[in-house]
Amino acid sequence: MDDRPPPDDDASGASETSESEPGRRRFVFPSALTVLVAVTVVVWALAFVIPSGSYRRTPDGNPVQGTYHREAAPGDFVHRLGELFLAPVNGLYGIRDPRTGQVAPDAAGTLYGSAGVFLFVLAIGAFITVVFATGALDRGIERLAHRLRARGALLIAGVMTVFSLLGTVEGFAEETLGFYGLIVPLMLALGYDRMVATGAIILGAGVGVLASTVNPFATGVASSAADVSLGDGIALRFAMWLVLTGVTIAYVLWYAHRVRAHPDRSLVGFLPGDRELAAASAEPPALTGLHRTVLALVTAVFLFMIFSVIPWASALTGRADAKPYGWELGWSFAQLAALFLTAALLVGIVARLGERRLSAVVVQGAADFLAPALTIVLARGVTVIMNNARITDTVLHSIESAVTGTAASVFGVMVFVVNLPLAFLIPSTSGHATLAMPILAPLADFAGVSRAVVVTAWQAASGWMNLWVPTTAVVVGGVSLAKVGYDRYLRFVWPLLAVLAVLICGFVAFGAVAT
């Protein structure tokens, strides 16, 4: 997941590359915020060229297939310039006028901006930061790794399962950079090479994010932008998580067994002192009662979040129009933001962080997650520009014919494939989702496919790319910390990427047909 605060330069390996090539300026891929600012300006300019038009809408606001017609966009050049100026503001709290369809910060109507998702990201950022401030999660993973240190296959499977579980529920990715100093020596002590440690860490967390079930930064933001519940499609995503995690663990175990049996077949070899390095790995301190309590609270919070967002009546009956049970909560981002703020306060009190430190950690956590929150706002601002210039429906109409008559299974695979280059160009999962979903979701309606399948296909494309692209700190920082060449990592991971791509296409095709 690329929305977390980036690590220091020395962790990502950037400084090392610069020193190895003195006098040469290394190209650095722009940040998600920079990319989205550029996209905003480009889309604003294209709005003068692309013909404007609109569809007739249902009472729910969904476009009616076959009703597109040309319709002039309001305002002159000065008005359009004002739209560009106000794009970030409209992206946060723009109001859509139900009569004209125009979005403005001072209009009367329904909220079109992403203020709810913006606050939710800050809230969960505060919660995660408070949890890490207690040291419970780090200590728990360290204890698991040390306890399984004498059983290599179980150690690999255990670490990858925990990382994948954290990835699928909360986007655990950049946090893995802190575990190389522990996992690498343990793997070397068991006769494995550094690539085994690298694969266990990057792929373990990465496949969890790829198959996110309720990951707020991927599934949550995409579901909001697609106007569906976070719980819609969770059964398909859970099945995908189980299968893809199992396949990924099996692949790393296969390579690990081969390397231990035949060290000469290692893709990276062994550095001087690798065998001796393992002796430095000391047993971490035991979990305290406080740590166990915090871990239990974190587990309870995420389980409750899952319970609160699942449309249980639809899930258990198989009918999309099923009447919700009386005990269903049907929570959305407003309630979830309040949940995580309350949970952050509760964890801080239980961990006895104290008023001053707890306040500081909450503020710091929200600040650390301000970048992904802003990408959501900027991406929504692009959507507002397209809406007010009335070119969103024109884009939909231009590909309506391609979707019409397309088999549902083919459509699901198309969504996955189309989003692969977009995931590279827009490295922020939140920004990518907010930008793409307003177009992809209505296309699902035209193809007769559930919007939840589109969300699943989109996040799989984003997660698949983030397993290998050099624009993510998780990959670049990970190979640098493990002292593994990026080219060697690509050679190691490409067979797995091919297998995962085939499985993903199978899952989204099945999900599209089954809905």
Q: Mind listing the pLDDT tens digit for each residue in 412-468? A: 898 898 888 877 767 677 778 887 888 888 888 888 888 999 999 999 999 999 899
pLDDT of amino acid 110: 87
SS3 357: helix
Handedness of CA 283, 289, 292, 294 (dihedral sign): negative
For residues 25-39, average pLDDT: 75
* pLDDT score recorded for residue 380: 86
Query: Domain segments of the chain: what residues?
Result: 32-44+72-93+111-149+284-389, 157-280+392-514
Quote helix, strand, coil % in the chain, to nearest 5: 70, 0, 30
Higher pLDDT, residue 255 or 436 = 255
How far is the C-alpha of 184 from the C-alpha of 133, rounded, in Å?
Answer: 24
**Res 427: pLDDT:** 63
- DSSP conformation class of 8: P
Per the model's pLDDT, the better-predicted residue between 282 and 50 turns out to be: 50
Q: Predicted confidence band at 281 (pLDDT cuts at 50, 70, 90)?
A: low
Q: So what's the pLDDT on residue 9?
A: 37
pLDDT band at 276 (very low <50, low <70, confident <90, very high): low
Q: Check: CB of residue 201 under 8 Å from CB of residue 180.
A: yes
Residue 73 backbone dihedrals phi, psi, to 5 degrees: -80, 145
pTM as predicted: 0.74
- pLDDT tens digits for 60-91? 667 887 788 888 888 888 999 999 999 999 99
Position 277 pLDDT exceeds 70: no
Percent of the chain with pLDDT over 90: 33
The full length of the chain comes to 515
Q: Counting Cβ atoms within 10 Å, is residue 408 exposed (0-12), middle (13-18) or buried (19+)?
A: buried
The single-letter code of the amino acid at 82 is: G
Highest mean pLDDT among 269-283, 309-323, 351-365, 475-489: 351-365
CB atoms within 10 A of CB 131: 25
Tokens describing residue 387? 């809406």
The CB density around residue 498, as the number of other CB atoms within 10 Å, is 10
- pLDDT value of position 26: 66
Give the lowest-confidence range in 90-99, 116-125, 395-404.
395-404
Mean pLDDT of 504-509: 95
Residue 281, classed as helix, strand or coil, is: coil
Report yes or no: 294 and 131 within 8 Å, Cβ to Cβ: yes
Q: Which pLDDT belongs to residue 318?
A: 60
Most confident of 6-15, 53-62, 153-162, 402-411: 153-162
Among the residue ranges 36-40, 237-241, 250-254, the one predicted with the least confidence is 36-40
How does 67-81 read in b/e, with b if 16+ C-beta sit within 10 Å?
ebeeeebeeeeeebe
Question: What is the chain's mean pLDDT, rounded?
Answer: 84
Which residue is associated with the tokens 């000065």?
Answer: 78
Mean pLDDT of 142-161: 85
**pLDDT above 90 (res 30):** no
Question: Rounded distance, CA 395 to CA 50, Å?
Answer: 9
Average pLDDT of 233-243? 94
Separation of alpha carbons 43 and 50, rounded Å: 10
Residue scoring higher pLDDT (363 or 310): 363
Q: Which residue has the higher pLDDT, 427 or 496?
A: 496
- Give the whole-number percent of the chain exceeding pLDDT 70: 88
